Amino acid sequence: MDQYRSVREARRRFLIHPYDRVEALHDLRVGVRATRSILREMRRVFGRHKIQPQLQWWATFARMTSAARDLDVTLATLQQLDDEPVIKAAGGTRWFVEALQIEADKTRQSLEEALRSAPMKYFLRHWGQFLRDDSSSEAKLRWARKDILIVAGTLILKSHQRFMAAGLAIHEDTPPEGLHDLRKKAKKLRYLMAGFGSYFSSKKVSSFIKGLKGFQDYLGQYQDGQVLRQRLATLSSDPDQPMPIEAQEVLKAINAWSVKKEDILRGQFQDHFMALVKATPRHRYRALFKQ
């Protein structure tokens, strides 16, 4: 219900406050992703056959918000690049910003129409009713009778185990997709920690969430470079929007700068990962649920 309320509020802000749309879209995307992530882990609570159709809806919802948010992030990154001497010397990012802004406006408009649509209103209303429904399957009742710390501990420790296994498997030859997958696992763990956070010491939980968020932000910088180059490559091959020669030179400078930064970030992986592991080792996770 907490996640449901956060999604409804972020949707409202996005639709009625134009000046707050970038931040509202971020909150909406996080709320949708967190809800979807928590539901995946809690299939046994709701019953798989009941929750699967809901998960499909949340997956569609996630794709809609991600498309718009990714463009916002790419635009923000491009605007920041104008402060880089090598990019400024090549001519700046104005052509790319203007081209992507058109796409971002169309994507945001499509998202707005989808959020206002009758199917979306029905889904959110139906989902809220689903959560309030007192009728429960036997599987749901078995889980409901368990102590919340046992339920939370089981889900979070399993998520932490998957995260750790993925992190320890990263090496210098791991493709970028491996780091992207690790970031997603870090997010899932963080969403579970935040979702059950009210049942634990806020001081203790906040240190776990802060560490995971910092690690996600580090991996996010690496991922943003990958997304930026992919997006600009697609833009450069668009036959309906020929790229001028000056912009082609800027593209070369952006790619060179981005690759160099990615190499630096990639070389810092072990330091960031081990710092997180040392700050919040597994025994601290276990101790959290035995308070």
What six digits make up the tokens of 76? 């923000």
Q: Within the chain, what is the greatest distance between any pair of CA atoms? A: 67
The 8-class DSSP code of residue 17 comes to -
Dump pLDDT digits (tens) for 235-289. Answer: 888 787 788 888 889 999 999 999 999 999 999 999 999 999 998 888 888 887 6
Domain boundary among 144, 173, 193: 144
The count of structural domains within the chain is 2
Residue written as token pair 């449901």? 4
Domain boundary among 144, 171, 186: 144
- Cα–Cα distance, 217 to 221 (Å, whole number): 6
Burial 157-184 (b: 16+ CB within 10 A, else e): bebbeebbebbeebeeeeeeeebeebbb
Residue 180: partners with Cβ closer than 8 Å, 6 or more residues away:
219, 223, 226
- Whether residue 151 sits in one domain with residue 123: no
- Whether residue 110 sits in one domain with residue 180: no
- Whether residue 150 sits in one domain with residue 281: yes
Residue-number span of the structural domain to which 215 is assigned: 146-291
Residue ranges of the chain with per-residue pLDDT less than 70: 134-146, 289-291
- Whether residue 274 sits in one domain with residue 231: yes
Q: What is the pLDDT of residue 151?
A: 79
Q: What is the pLDDT of residue 38?
A: 86
Residue written as token pair 């991996």? 219
Q: What is the pLDDT of residue 266?
A: 93
Q: Residue 107's closest CA among 21, 167, 166? A: 21
Domain boundary among 83, 118, 144: 144
- Whether residue 140 sits in one domain with residue 154: no
DSSP state string for 18-71: GGGHHHHHHHHHHHHHHHHHHHHHTHHHH-HHHHHHHHHHHHHHHHHHHHHHHH
- Whether residue 127 sits in one domain with residue 34: yes
Q: What is the pLDDT of residue 198?
A: 77
- Whether residue 270 sits in one domain with residue 215: yes
Q: What is the pTM of this model?
A: 0.84
- Whether residue 262 sits in one domain with residue 175: yes
DSSP state string for 97-151: HHHHHHHHHHHHHHHHHHHHSHHHHHHHHHHHHHHH-----HHHHHHHTS-HHHH
- Whether residue 128 sits in one domain with residue 220: no
